[in-house]
Amino acid sequence: AMTASPLQSMHLAVNRNWNIPLGYALIDGLDGNVHANLVWEYIIKLKDPGAECISMTFDRTNCNISMLTALGVRFAQPMKSWFAHPSDPTSRVHAVLDACHMLKLMRNLLVEKGFIRDGAGRVVAWRYLAALDNLQQQEGLHAANKLRKQHIDFERQKMKVSLAAQTLSRSVSCALLFCKEKGIQGFEGAEATAKFAAAVDDIFDLTNSCHPLGRGSKCPIRASNQVTILERIEQASRYLRALKDATGKPLSQGARKTPVLGFLLVLDSIKGLAEDLVWSPSPPLRCLLTRKLSQDHLELFFATVRNRTGNNNNPTALEFRSAYRKCLLANVLPSTCGNCQVDGTETLLVSSSAQHQQDQRRAEDARGEEASSTVSYRPLSEFAECVVDYIAGNVAVNFAKVTKCPECSKIALLTRAKCDLILIKDAGGLHSPSQDILGLCKIAEKVLRRHFDKAAKGGRNWLQRLQTEAMTIIFMTPLFKRFDHLFLAQTIDNQSHCAIMVKTMLEYFFKLRIHHMCRQQSAAERGRTVRQFLTKLVIFRGQ
């Protein structure tokens, strides 16, 4: 008989930094009882070398659901997320459905149904996410999130976890709330969808902590944060159970109940594991990294197998067996890549011989507005102004890091009242720029929008041309004129600190925005890709 696929098992140490494949079974279909017997044998054999099995992680196939039921896991209320250890009935083995699979299924559920309702009866709809993407495409700016066209039209890339994680994320939740508070048309009643995205993001963070020094929602489970973790688990479980479909039936009881029940099972298992390993009177672990409960390490192993078979997604049984042996004996690793950015800075000096006439600056201030009004630029929308305000904060912080002049650094870090987007997004580390730096970035954005079509076609020195035009306008306005230090201090080549500051900030802003706008234009020209959809049938367009 022909085998359809291998059933792979892997052991991962929660208190060490290693994992090892346990074995595989070549199968052509498998029912839940047979699968349960295989799992039973694996757990018993792990006991022989002294390893303890504390949890089992699976994806959401029907066979795995039946297998968990056969082992004694109960999905109905009251939920039971564990089964007794076959070698030691006093020990518990917790069942975990992979959080990455549940995240993708939750996204797919919202798309398929169009809208659902939360516990308060408010509408959670996919159309708000599509409207946010359309708004950001029209404005040419993104409200501090990664939502793109590929996140909305994801049918050809359903397996990408990153698309689902970036769609139902806290950044998208903040963007929806920002658009709703600004009264932008099409976002009336978007607060329920924003809360849904934030809730799913918090659940995924809770099930995906990967660093012992993580902070905030990504912190590992410790004895010191027991109360906080229990509150988050209880709040998330209560929110998931309250979700209903359009008819008012709870999602946990409907046909598409797997993502809701899967997240509930993961949360209950995390709570049980924390009680056994971290919160017990004599805990074996100081902290629990919940990412070790996911299938990520098995997916990385599958990536090495695919590398040995010519990146074939569906190797035959013989190809898999050969690649499996090579990966074990040769220790083949998945491909990695990295980038290193060289950050060049200029040394700023204070020259005591610099002489500037105060009356000349006052005269420039007087005619600044008249001169700047002679050039016509498109006004920025309220949405665009808030996003530019957000970017300006990053520009100010970046300049403060690279400058060698302490006084210029203090001027760059001056702040003012936060705009709506920063207020919604801020979790303690965002900077609200001063009015001078905000004015600089608004002028730069208008100049860039006026000339981007020409700059995108290529040519020499476009960055310098944009800088020159923007600096000409800025120096004819009152921006930065109140800081005497910027005009009295000079570099060794007789450039004022004001010119250096403006030039550096403009260069950083233009590079940031041109990179973003070029990526948008490239995606629009490329259209919908066929590589992910046809994979092995068509390698290149036109073949």
Under a CB-based contact definition with an 8 Å cutoff, are residues 22 and 39 in contact? no
- For 225-248, write each residue's pLDDT tens digit: 999 999 999 999 999 999 999 999
- For 17-49, write each residue's pLDDT tens digit: 888 888 888 777 777 788 888 888 888 888 888
Distance CA 466, CA 452 (A): 9
Q: For 147, list phi and psi in degrees, rounded to 5.
A: -70, 125
Distance CA 98, CA 175 (A): 28
- Give the tokens for residue 235: 């709040």
- Average pLDDT over all residues of the chain: 85
Residue 457 confidence (pLDDT) above 80: no
Count the Cβ atoms, other than its own, within 10 Å of residue 25: 14
Between strands 55-58 and 92-97, the pairing is parallel
Q: Is 359 helix (H, G, I), strand (E, B) or coil?
A: helix
Q: How confident is the model at residue 99 (pLDDT cuts 50, 70, 90)?
A: very high
* Type of residue numbered 432: S
Residue appearing with tokens 């230090």: 485
Residue 368 confidence (pLDDT) above 60: no
pLDDT at 100: 93
| % of the chain with per-residue pLDDT over 90 | 53
User: What is the DSSP code string of 20-31?
Assistant: EEEEEEEES---
Distance CA 458, CA 233 (A): 53
Q: Model-level pTM?
A: 0.85
Cα–Cα nearest to 474, from 444, 445, 495: 444
